[in-house]
Each structure stands twice: as structure tokens, then as C-alpha cells.
Structure 1
């Protein structure tokens, strides 16, 4: 199959349409805005390439000016998609590109027209593409493989159009947009097909990685409170517990809501859910750096602290109990106070397992409830405490 201009444009139409359809299906599934912009970009390329075929029929205004304008708009969609993907804000000054392109209509129809049109079109595409690549640069953290690939594909694509713009003004170069003549145009058509494939693959890989990470995060979170669930705690706790030593003691706090059933019975389970969310937000706001918090189930929560002390545990427990009791009393009137009971275990040696540690916290929690509720019971299992008791 000869790589003549009509064939290359036909390939571009097929590839761009396929990419647009695939990204549109992905967008419909997960509603990620960047996918919608990227899909629109490829759809615009498919339409623009179709219109470019019309120039061989003498429809130069549609086949050249409008087709090339759609190419600029397509790369603008790519830039908007990258901006949404990276949560970046774009200046309204980018709208001037539309004004610049409309101004090209005023160009006189003379031999230099093709070069000026190619120069302006290439510079605008290069500007949009290089800006998109710049937005994808790492911000102190690694990007996904797909995002890194997309960044460099856009960078190379933008540099190509920059070189294309420079070569368009070299004296003696043949450029005839109406007849697809000139080495620059021939090379550009080949590069366009390759760019469509690579950009489409990079974009789909980028969003697939983000979707997998989102699913992974959702699987690790309690759907109501968004704190870690028990499974996520089992995965993350060993890293915290392996650093425990006499110089860096750790602690587990097991938290249970007193008289939680009264809220459900008097106000309904929706009210009970709101109370659980309130407690989770308090825990999150008071949680120190390096700590873990999770909802074990029902109205039971757990906090793992690293490099802590009995004084810190007491202060954290008191702050939680006071804030929660004040909030619950203001929101729900119940025959008995809705408060917190906390069982805490302070230790300076790595425990046999997280399950064993939770059992110790559960014993302290039971002692707290048996002692009248709305209290914290701390069991100090550190070596210093054992020596002090001897």
C-alpha cells in the first residue's frame, strides 16, 4: 500500500475515530473529564482529516483552512484533557489562539500563502502540545508509566511541529497545501499517523493506571467513613509495628461508642451513620503524623500510634471523648449519654500479630466500659513500666 497523502489521511481518520470511540466508552464508564476532552480531540482530528481530503476536489477553504483549524482545536482539547488530569488551571489567554487562527482568513491568496498557513498552524499546534507536556512533568512525585509516556510523546510531537514551522520558512522549500506537495507535508502526514497511535495508547494507559489506583484506594477504605478498613489496616500496620523499640514505643487505641444503639433506635440508622462519620472526622483531625486509623466495623474504631507516650495517649483520648460527647449531646437527646469508651495498650516490643494487639486493646476497652464508660483505660506494657512495678 503506497504511503500517498490520501492513504495517510484515511489511516489518520480510522485511527483517530477508533481512539475517540474507545475513550468515549471509557468516559461513559468512569466519567473522568480528561477522557471526554481527549475523546473530543481525536474526534476532531477524524473530522479534520476527512475534510482535508476535500482539497483534492478543489474545496480549498474547507480542505485547508477549516481542516487545519480543526487540527489546532484538537490539540487544544488534548491540552484541556491534560489540565483536568493534572488538576491544573489554564489562563484565558489561550483563547487568543482562536483569534489568531481567524486572522489567517485575511491572508492574501498569493504564492507565499501555503508557507504562512503552515507556519502559523505548526506554531499553534506546537505551543498547545508543548504546554500539555509541561503540565505532565513530575511534581516531586513519580508519574505512572502511561503519564510519563504521554508526556514524552507530546514533547516529541510538539518539537516536531516546532521544527516543521521553522523549515516552512526556509527559502526554496516547496510547499503546496492544495496538492499535498512538499517533503515537509509528506513527513508531517506520516508523523501524524504515528502520533495518533502513540498519543492514544499513552492516554488510555494513563487513565487505566489512574482507574486501577482509584479502585485500589476504594478497596482499602470503609465506604461510610473513608477511614481504612480492617483489610487495609492488616496490610499497613506491620510497617508501623516493625519500628517499635524501647526508644520508640507504640500504642493501640480501641474506641467504641457508648449507647450507640439508642441513637439508631430513636433517630434511625441514617442518624447513626452521621454519628459514625462525625467520629471519623474527629479522629482524622486529631491523628498525628505517622499514625493509622481504621474502622473495624459497627461502631468500633482503632488507632495505631508510633513513637508515643502515655501522656500523649491520655491527651488524645481526652480530646476525642470531650469533642464527641459535646457533639453527640447537641445533636441527639437520649436517655443515657452517648460517649466514648477507649481501651489503650502501650508497648515497646513488636507484638506477635495485629490480632493479638487488638485483643489486648479489647480487654482494656472492656475494662473501660465495666468501669462506668466515657473513660479511657490504658495498659502500659513497656519494659520501663514492668521495672517500675517490681
Structure 2
């Protein structure tokens, strides 16, 4: 198969159409705006390349002006997709790309127009593509493999179009857009096919990675409070236990809402859910660095601490109880006070399992309930005796 312009455009049409279809199907499944923009970009390339075939039949306005305009539009759609993917708000100046291209219709009809059109067209494609690559730079977190690949493919593609624009001003350069003549045009057609293929693979890989990460994140979170669920806590707890020693004790706080049923009975389950969400937000606000928090189910929560002390555990529990009481007192009127009971376990040796640690803390929680509720009871295993102590 010879790499003539017709063959290269036909390959571009097929690859871009396939990419557009695949991304559109993905968009229907996950409704990510970035996918819709990228799919539209590839569809635009497919249409533009089809129109470019018409220039050989003498349809220069459609085959050149419209086709090249659609090429710019496609890369602008890629930029919009990357902006949505990175959650970046673009300046309105990027919307002037369309205005600039419309002005291209005023080009004079003489031999110089091919160079002028390629210069302006290449510069616009280069600018939007390089901007898209810049948006994909890491922001504190490492990028996925697909996003890194997309970043560099766009970077190389943008640099190529910048060099293509510069080549048009070299003396003696042959550029004939009407007949696809000129070495730079031939190279551009080959690069276009490769770029379409690599950009499509990078975009699909990027979105697939983010979708998989989102699924994994949702599977690890309680759907109501967005705290970790018990399974996720069991996965993450062993790493925290490894850091526990005599010099760096750990602690588990088992938290239960006293008389929570009253909220559901008097104000409805929606109000009960709002209270649990409010409690989860309070837990997040006081959570020390490196600590873990989870909702075990119902109105029962867990906080797992590392490198802590008896005093710090008690202080954290008291702050949480006070914040919760103030919130409930201002929002709900119940016959019995809706408060927090906390059973805590301070340890300086890694426990046999998270389940065993929760079971020990449950004994302290039961003691808190039996002692009148709205209190914290602490099992301090860093001292001899390991008795349940009335911390507050």
C-alpha cells in the first residue's frame, strides 16, 4: 500500500471514526463530559478528512477551507475535553479560535494563500494542543500511565505543528494545498495518522484508569458518610499496626450514638441520615494526620489512631462528644439526650486482628453505656492491669 494522500486520509477517516464511536459508547456508560468532547473531536477529524478528499475534484472551498477549519475545531474539542478531565476553567480567549478561522475566509485568491493558510492553521492547532498538554502536568499527584502518555503525545503533536508553521516561512518551500504537493504536506499526513491513533489510545486508557480508580474508591467508602467501610478499614489497618510500639502506641475508638432511634422515630430516617453525615464530618475535622476513620454500620463508627497517648485519646473523644451534643441540642428536641458513648483501647503491641481490637473496645463501649452514656471508657494496655478506666 503506497502512502499517497488519498490512502493516508482514508486511514485517518477510519481511525478517527472508530475512536469517536468507542468514546461515545464509553460516554453513554459513564457520562463523563471529557469523553463527549473527545468523541466529538475525533468525529470532526473524520468529517474534515472526508471533506479533504474533495479537493482533488476541484471543491477547494469545502476541501481546503472547511476541512482545515474542522481540523482546528477538532483540536479545540480535545482541549475542552482535557480541561473537563483536569477540572480546569479555561480563559474565554480560547473561544476566539473560531473567530480567527472565520477571518481566514478573507484570504486573497493568489498563490500566497496556501502558505498563509498553513501558517495560521498550524499555529492554532499547535497552541490548543500544547495548552492541552500543559493542563495534564502533574498537580501534586502522579498521573496515570494513560494520562502521562496523552500528555506527551499532545506535546509532540503540538511541537510538530509549531515546526510545520515555521517551515512555511522558509524560502523556496513548496506548499500546494489544492494538490497535496509539498514535502511538509506529505509528512503532515503521515504524522496525522500516527497522532490520531496514539491520541485515541491515550484518551481511552486515561479515562479507563480514572473509572477503575473511581470504582475502587466507591467500593471502599460508606455510601452515606463517604468514610471508609469496614472492609476498607481491615485492608488499611495492618499498615498502621506495623507502626505501633512502646514509644508509639496506637488506639481504637469505637463510637456509638445514644438513643439514636428517637431521631428516626420523631423526625424521620432522612433526619437520622443527616445526623450521621454531620457526625462523620465532625470526625473528619478532628482526625489527626495518619489516622483512619470508618463507619461500621448503623450508628457505629471507628477511629484508629497511631502515635498517640492516653491524654490525646481522651481529649479527642471529649471534643467529639461535645461537638455532637451541641449539634443535636440545637437541631432536635428529644425526650432523652442523644449523645455519644465511646469505648477506647490504647495499645503498644500490634493486635492479632482488627476484629479482636474492635471486640475489646466494644467491652469498653458497653461499660460506657452501662455507666450512664455520654462518656468515654478507655482500656489502657500500655499500663499493667489493662482495666477499663472511666476516662470521662
SS in 1 for 2:111: coil
Tell me, in whole angstroms, the C-alpha distance in 2 between the residues paired with 1:59 and 1:5: 16
Sort the Cα spacing of 1:129 and 1:385 in 2 relative to 1 into closer, same or farther, 3 A: farther
Alignment of 1:44-59 (within 5 A): 44-59=44-59
* Higher deviation after alignment, 297-306 or 55-64: 55-64
Q: Could you tell me how far 1:200 is from its partner in structure 2?
A: 0.4
**Correspondence 1:74 to 2:74:** yes
Alignment of 1:134-173 (within 5 A): 134-173=134-173
Deviations 1:98-154 (A, max 9, x none): 232222222211111111111111111111111111111222331100001101111
Alignment of 1:178-257 (within 5 A): 178-257=178-257
Q: Could you tell me how far 1:173 is from its partner in structure 2?
A: 2.1
Tell me, in whole angstroms, the C-alpha distance in 2 between the residues paired with 1:302 and 1:107: 70
Equivalent residue number for residue 334 of structure 1: 334
Tell me, in whole angstroms, the C-alpha distance in 1 between the residues paired with 2:61 and 2:158: 25
Alignment of 1:303-382 (within 5 A): 303-382=303-382
Q: Could you tell me how far 1:217 is from its partner in structure 2?
A: 0.2
Tell me, in whole angstroms, the C-alpha distance in 1 between the residues paired with 2:40 and 2:120: 23
Tell me, in whole angstroms, the C-alpha distance in 2 between the residues paired with 1:384 and 1:120: 80
Structure 2: gaps (5+ residues):
none
TM-score (structure 1 length as normaliser): 0.96
* Higher deviation after alignment, 173-182 or 199-208: 173-182
Does the 8 A contact of 1:367 with 1:377 survive in 2? yes
Tell me, in whole angstroms, the C-alpha distance in 2 between the residues paired with 1:95 and 1:150: 23
SS in 2 for 1:296: strand
Does the 8 A contact of 1:348 with 1:383 survive in 2? no
Tell me, in whole angstroms, the C-alpha distance in 2 between the residues paired with 1:269 and 1:97: 53
Tell me, in whole angstroms, the C-alpha distance in 2 between the residues paired with 1:296 and 1:164: 60
CA RMSD of aligned residues (A): 1.5
**Correspondence 1:39 to 2:62:** no
Deviations 1:302-355 (A, max 9, x none): 001111112211111111111112222332222211111000111111111111
Deviations 1:173-204 (A, max 9, x none): 22110111111111111111111111000000
Alignment of 1:16-35 (within 5 A): 16-35=16-35
SS in 2 for 1:22: helix
Equivalent residue number for residue 107 of structure 2: 107
Does the 8 A contact of 1:246 with 1:383 survive in 2? no
Does the 8 A contact of 1:249 with 1:347 survive in 2? yes
SS in 2 for 1:295: strand
**Aligned length, in residue pairs:** 387
Equivalent residue number for residue 128 of structure 2: 128
Deviations 1:33-56 (A, max 9, x none): 111111111111111111111212
Q: Could you tell me how far 1:272 is from its partner in structure 2?
A: 1.8
SS in 2 for 1:137: coil
Tell me, in whole angstroms, the C-alpha distance in 2 between the residues paired with 1:384 and 1:195: 69
Q: Could you tell me how far 1:385 is from its partner in structure 2?
A: 7.9
Structure 1: gaps (5+ residues):
none
Tell me, in whole angstroms, the C-alpha distance in 2 between the residues paired with 1:102 and 1:278: 54
* Higher deviation after alignment, 165-174 or 355-364: 165-174
Tell me, in whole angstroms, the C-alpha distance in 2 between the residues paired with 1:196 and 1:232: 40
Tell me, in whole angstroms, the C-alpha distance in 2 between the residues paired with 1:143 and 1:239: 24
